[in-house]
Structure 1
């Protein structure tokens, strides 16, 4: 365990951030799963509205540092590509 006051504080802060980030990542995964299943079921109108809110959530997670910027771009790109492929067919 840490011996200095500042390292004890840093450890406490890490624990708080970890819990917050875990909750946010769980929320993100749940939204992604919902959107993917909606696209696969063929509910394209609902999927388009979900895509907008999901992209907004992904951007927020990226801004907060919960996910990396490149990971956020990858998620958005793959979701848009999946929706476009369902729309085309």
Structure 2
């Protein structure tokens, strides 16, 4: 940690701690939303997963806009969720 003589470093350290906590909370919310969709898909509740999809995509877009996750990571999350939902929605052949 910075010493008291370096007031700008002390302030930067305080800001980093605050941002880290805020970003951690946002990422946790995002992961929880993604897990809810995955769980619904694994249990065969496709309608519930489809209902949660728009909310989760909104969360992903907000995190990307705020810079909490990278734009490409956001696209990857959305793509994988949509792909899994599409696969689960397809009737199985055979």
Q: Normalised by the shorter chain, which TM-score bucket?
A: over 0.9
Aligned residues: 89
Distance 1:42 1:65 in 2: 33
Aligned counterpart in structure 1 of residue 42 of structure 2, from 40, 43, 46? 40
Q: Structure 1-normalised TM-score?
A: 0.93
Q: CA deviation at 1:68?
A: 0.9
> Does 2:78 align with 1:80?
no
1:37-82 per-position Cα deviation (integer Å, ceiling 9, x unaligned): 1112111111111001000000011111111111000000000000
Structure showing greater Rg: 2
What are the residue-to-residue correspondences of 1:1-89 with 2, within 5 Å? 1-3=1-3, 4-89=6-91
**SS state at 1:47 partner:** helix
Higher RCO, 1 vs 2 (CA within 8 Å, ≥6 residues apart):
1
Q: CA deviation at 1:29?
A: 1.0
Q: Structure 2-normalised TM-score?
A: 0.89
Structure 1, unaligned stretches of length 5 or more? none
Distance 1:86 1:23 in 2: 30
Structure 2, unaligned stretches of length 5 or more? none
Return the structure number with greater helix share: 1
